[in-house]
């Protein structure tokens, strides 16, 4: 009998964290590396949020908080869902966790039994299937494609649902593709789910505020009120408020589920950081004027990167509606050789050789369940992005 749990042998490490760490190690050795692998805004947390945290410290808000979150934050979450999504919740239907990942994990841990299936569209955020496995469930993948902008098609979802299906995880805008569902597209998906009342919806709306042009964000329970009683709507302050390190995620859903998640969290981590929670109150209740600045900068960066990648030999890059990622295909370059004689057999070979040859860190698409692609984060300066894209162009042009 081994000492470590058998479940660990079924779980893969996070490819995004691994690539980011490789980039850090090369930088520490003096290599000129441009990291396009990390999924966090390069902007600073807005000042009014930081001041709220400082005020909380000065007031002595440094004791154990309630497991499900401080009352002012749960009230702010209720107001946020009503104001921005037209969804009515009571504070008792909300929960605060140590980041969005923690909220999702607790929901799965509180509900999955061995043999339960969770439908996950490909490409997916790398943590979804691993969390399902750790919680004893079985991931069931549904492939999307570039022709449909990496969006789940209703007929494919219909085929994936079985009597064992307990959840579907939806993420719009998507990490890694940036694809976001319009109201009509999401309605087609929710129509399928209405025919299967045993399937619950776990929607990851973390990139809600990062959509571009005239795109209108919608969430499943908003599009189909009939799903309200079996939907957990997760969000957080990490991306829209540049608060990744503050570690605050939150969700709203049916009260019995929230109570089960509270029970799990009470024996796991207890409440999230009290100081971070007071900062999150200021984020949700305070001015939102920074959002327009964030969105304008990200849209400019998106357009820059998409343009330059589509001028690159062998790459095809769709224009995403949201988040801060692009997901270009490198299929035409698989099988070619680098100047050092290495044959690119996979998209992982592509990003590995790109890092070695040009010092650009990206993440291979197969880590997100769908390749040959690569995920590029454009959450960095225009200057860095232009230089990174020039290096990518040079690398691709050198392949034979």
- Does residue 1 lie within any of the structural domains? no
d(CA 91, CA 305): 41
Residues 167-183 have pLDDT tens digits of 999 999 999 999 999 99
257/358 same-domain check: no
Mean pLDDT on 379-392? 97
Instruction: Give a yes or no: residue 173 inside a domain.
Output: yes
Collapsed DSSP state (helix, strand, coil) of residue 301:
helix
pLDDT value of residue 46? 98
- Domain-embedded: residue 260: yes
- CATH code assigned at 365: 3.90.1150.10
Shared domain for 123 and 234, answered yes or no, is yes
Q: How far apart are CA 52 and CA 201, in angstroms?
A: 34
Tokens 């805008």 belong to which residue? 173
Q: At what angle do helices 347-358 and 15-28 cross, to 10 degrees?
A: 20
Total number of domains constituting the chain: 2
138 and 239 in a single domain? The answer is yes
Lowest-pLDDT range, 31-35, 110-114, 221-225?
31-35
Q: Do both 324 and 218 map to the same domain?
A: no
Element at 374 (helix H, strand E): strand 374-377
DSSP one-letter code for 335: T
Report the mean per-residue pLDDT for the chain.
Answer: 96
In a domain, residue 251? The reply is yes
Helices (H), the chain: 15-28, 47-58, 71-85, 100-111, 127-134, 154-160, 183-194, 220-223, 255-266, 274-285, 290-310, 347-358, 382-398
Residue ranges making up the domain that contains 370 = 6-44+290-398
Same domain? 39 vs 135: no
Shared domain for 274 and 311, answered yes or no, is: no
- pLDDT category, 153, cuts 50, 70, 90? very high
Q: Do the domain assignments include residue 322?
A: yes
CATH of the domain at 144: 3.40.640.10
What DSSP character marks residue 180? -
Residue 155 clears pLDDT 70, i.e. is over it: yes
For residues 32 and 70, state if they share a domain.
no
Assess whether 133 and 27 both reside in one domain: no
What's the pLDDT at 140?
98
**216 in Cβ contact with 182 (< 8 Å):** yes
Q: Is residue 20 part of a domain?
A: yes
Same domain, 169 and 295: no
Last residue of a domain, one of 228, 261, 287: 287
- For residues 282 and 301, membership in a common domain is answered with no
Among residues 134, 76, 75, the alpha carbon closest in space to that of 109 is found at 134
* Residue at a domain's end among 256, 287, 318: 287
| Residue 83 pLDDT | 98
pLDDT in tens, 70-124: 999 999 999 999 999 999 999 999 999 999 999 999 999 999 999 999 999 999 9
Report whether 237 contacts 246 (CB < 8 A): yes
- The DSSP result for 46-68, as a single string, is PHHHHHHHHHHHHTT--SPPPTT
Give per-residue pLDDT as tens, 199-218: 999 999 999 999 999 999 99
Q: What is the pLDDT of residue 162?
A: 98
266, 336: one domain: no
| Residue 187 sits in the same domain as residue 279 | yes
Buried b (16+ CB within 10 A) or exposed e, 184-207: ebbebbbebbeeeeebbbbbbbbb
The pLDDT score that the predictor gives to residue 332 is 98
* Domain-located, residue 81: yes
User: Mean per-residue pLDDT for 36-60?
Assistant: 96
pLDDT of residue 1: 65
Domain limit, last residue, from 287, 302, 334: 287
């Amino acid at each position: 009998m081994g000492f470590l749990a058998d479940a660990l042998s079924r779980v893969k490490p996070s490819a995004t964290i691994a690539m980011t760490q490789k980039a850090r190690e090369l930088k520490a050795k003096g290599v000129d590396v441009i990291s396009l692998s990390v999924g966090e805004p390069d902007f600073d947390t807005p000042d009014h949020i930081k001041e709220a945290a400082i005020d909380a410290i000065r007031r002595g808000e440094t004791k154990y908080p309630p497991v499900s979150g401080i009352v002012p934050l749960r009230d702010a979450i209720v107001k946020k869902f009503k104001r921005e999504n037209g969804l009515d919740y009571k504070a008792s239907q909300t929960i605060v966790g140590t980041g969005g990942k923690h909220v999702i994990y607790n929901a799965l841990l509180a509900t999955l039994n061995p043999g339960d299936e969770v439908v996950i569209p490909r490409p997916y955020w790398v943590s979804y299937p691993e969390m399902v496995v750790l919680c004893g469930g079985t991931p069931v993948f549904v492939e999307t494609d570039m022709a449909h902008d990496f969006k789940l098609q209703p007929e494919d979802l219909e085929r994936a649902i079985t009597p064992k299906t307990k959840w579907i995880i939806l993420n719009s805008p998507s990490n890694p593709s940036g694809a976001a569902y319009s109201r009509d597209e999401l309605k087609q998906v929710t129509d399928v789910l209405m025919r299967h009342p045993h399937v619950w919806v776990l929607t990851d709306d973390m990139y809600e505020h990062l959509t571009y042009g005239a795109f209108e964000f919608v969430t499943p329970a908003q599009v189909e009120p009939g799903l309200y009683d079996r939907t957990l709507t997760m969000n957080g302050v990490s991306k829209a408020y540049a608060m990744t390190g503050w570690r605050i995620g939150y969700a709203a859903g049916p009260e019995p589920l929230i109570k089960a998640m509270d029970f799990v969290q009470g024996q796991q981590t207890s409440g999230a950081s009290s100081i971070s929670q007071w900062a999150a109150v200021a984020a949700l209740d305070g001015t939102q004027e920074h959002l327009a600045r964030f969105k304008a900068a990200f849209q400019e960066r998106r357009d820059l990167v998409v343009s330059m990648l589509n001028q690159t030999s062998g790459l095809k890059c769709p224009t995403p509606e949201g988040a801060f990622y692009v997901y270009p295909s490198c299929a035409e370059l698989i099988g070619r050789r680098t100047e050092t004689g290495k044959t690119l057999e996979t998209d992982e070979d592509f990003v590995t050789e790109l890092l070695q040859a040009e010092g650009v860190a990206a993440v291979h698409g197969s880590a997100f369940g769908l390749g040959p692609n690569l995920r590029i984060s454009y959450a960095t300066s225009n200057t860095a992005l232009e230089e990174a894209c020039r290096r990518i162009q040079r690398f691709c042009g050198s392949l034979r």
